[in-house]
Amino acid sequence: MVKITYVEHNATEHVIDVPVGISLMQAAVNHAIPGIEGDCGGLCACGTCHVYVPGEFVELTGVADELESGMLAFAFDTKPCSRLSCQIKATAAMEGVRILMPARQY
């Protein structure tokens, strides 16, 4: 397990233990983290798990591939650091990663 911090748009923080190998979206849904919905169940088909990955964590979480980038085109308030949390799998190296959430998903 790794500790991941999810930060809501209003700065409320949720620190949870995430099993290695699970997506950050699934972990958030499992812990009822507000602001991450995951309507498609993690299939990279809806964009309702949109998050921002601060620059210092990009190397650990990777960058969006073509499919994910296409889905992000439909997300609210995207930025260069935008990702779909369903496409980020937890690894042991991610201990302490902070994930920021947009004001809304739609």
pLDDT in tens, 55-79: 999 999 999 999 999 999 989 999 9
pTM for this one?
Answer: 0.94
Angle 80-12-51 from CA coordinates, rounded to 5° = 25
> So where are the chain's domains?
50-106
Find the mean pLDDT for residues 88-94: 98
Per residue, what are the HEC states of the chain?
A: CEEEEEECCCCCEEEEEECCCCEHHHHHHHCCCCCCCCCCCCCCCCCCCEEECCHHHHHHHCCCCHHHHHHHCCCCCCCCCEEEHHHCECCHHHCCCEEECCCCCC
Structurally, at CATH architecture level, domain 50-106 sits in Roll (3.10)
